[in-house]
Amino acid sequence: MGRERDGERPGQRSGLLTADTLNLNGGGNVGVNAGNRLNTVVNTLALNKSGGDTFLSEADALNAQGTTPGNLTLDAGATTVNAAGLSAAGGALTASALTLNGALNLGVGSVTVNGPASGAGLLTADTLNLNGGGNVGVNAGTG
Amino acid sequence: MNTLALNKSGGDTFLSEADALNAQGTTPGNLTLDAGAMTVNAAGLSAAGGALTASALTLNGALNLGVGSVTVNGPASGAGLLTADTLNLNGGGNVGVNAGNRLNTVVNTLALNKSGGDTFLSEADGLSLSGVTGGGNFDLVDAGLTTLIGSVNAGRAAWRWAGRWTTRAATR
């Protein structure tokens, strides 16, 4: 395990975290704020947090699931919410595309999709911003 | 969700909202949206077409669904201009408030299937009208030509409009 540099705490470095799966458990913040995020290149994000807010910047596509009682602020490429669902108390999720294989509940937060969105999962949020091109839903039978 | 903000550059949008919704923004594609009580914010909401269905509608801004249809299954009000190919007014509840506070429309077809409530409309350039008012009063000011399609049934309710009119048999 690497030694922490002075003034830094785990999960708050500006370095890039690369892995297949990132499991975020327990309390405490991940990242500092929306301007100081944990930078990742992971395939899967699994939340099982008991507290704290989470600020992530994912470089590309992401599969995500799990829960946090805090806020989740996440920028990512094409994001797929797995069947287990993804929920947070609030925050802001921004994705270039969104596939809801499970429910996405961002509570009082906002969800921004800059491209297509689809899937059977229920999207719950205060605000849904739909930007860019691409279909949202598939047809009138698939809202 | 509470608020839908569209700023799309392409694609069609199909949404099913479980309850009330504030909406605004634009899309060059179609918008097909089912929602509960819907409020169009002052910024307005526009799409090329599609189908918008709401249990109630408040127009704080303009709603432009282009060649699409708007269906309101309850009351509708607000100063915003409603533009669509077809406006379906169903269910109970007033549409517009009174003769001085009408729902302002630019639609080609108005289809009434109301079960109650009074309807006050101001149409900018003529429309085709069909259906039943369901016992409520119907008051239309049409700056263009109103075409009655088949029989329009207002029952014992007051029926008033200002403008030119003609009739046409219903298409079977």
For B118, the token pair is 């009074």
State yes or no: pLDDT of A101 exceeds 90. Answer: yes
State yes or no: pLDDT of A49 exceeds 80. Answer: yes
CB atoms within 10 A of CB A116: 21
B32-to-A1, A140, B13 alpha-carbon distances in Å: 53, 7, 6
The pLDDT value given to residue B141? 93
B100 DSSP assignment: T
For B92, the token pair is 């109970």
Q: What angle do CA A55, A58, A59 make, to 5 degrees?
A: 150
The pLDDT value given to residue A141? 86
What is the mean pLDDT for each group of 10 consecutive residues in chain B (172 residues)?
97 97 98 98 98 98 98 98 98 96 97 94 95 88 89 68 74 56
Q: Do B12 and A142 touch (CB under 8 A)?
A: no
Q: Do B14 and A124 touch (CB under 8 A)?
A: no
Q: Which of B4, B14, B21 should be substituted to probe chain A, the one whose Cβ sees the most A Cβ atoms within 10 Å?
A: B14
- Burial category of B25 from C-beta neighbours within 10 Å (exposed 0-12, middle 13-18, buried 19 and up): buried
Name the residue with higher pLDDT: B153 or A19: A19
Nearest of A20, A17, A26, A92 to residue A63 by alpha carbon: A20
A120, A102 Cβ separation under 8 angstroms: no
Q: Do B15 and A133 touch (CB under 8 A)?
A: no
CA distance B55 to B93: 10
Residue A36 bridge partners (DSSP): A33
The pLDDT value given to residue B155? 64
* Over residues A103-131, mean pLDDT: 98
Which amino acid belongs to residue B121? L
End-to-end CA distance of chain B: 41
Q: Give the dihedral sign, CA A143/B12/B108/B62.
A: positive
State yes or no: pLDDT of A142 exceeds 70. Answer: no
Q: What angle do CA A90, A64, A73 make, to 5 degrees?
A: 30
The pLDDT value given to residue A1? 34
The pLDDT value given to residue B4? 98
> Chain B partners of A125 at a C-beta cutoff of 8 Å?
1
| Residue ranges with strand state E in B62-170 | 63-64, 69-72, 76-77, 81-91, 103-114, 119-123, 127-132, 138-153, 159-168
Name the pLDDT band for A4 (thresholds 50, 70, 90): very low
End-to-end CA distance of chain A: 47
State yes or no: pLDDT of A14 exceeds 70. Answer: no
Q: What percent of chain A has pLDDT over 70?
A: 89
Taking the domains of chain B in order of start, what are their residue ranges?
15-168
Q: Do A126 and B1 touch (CB under 8 A)?
A: yes
Which amino acid belongs to residue A66? G
* Over residues A101-111, mean pLDDT: 98
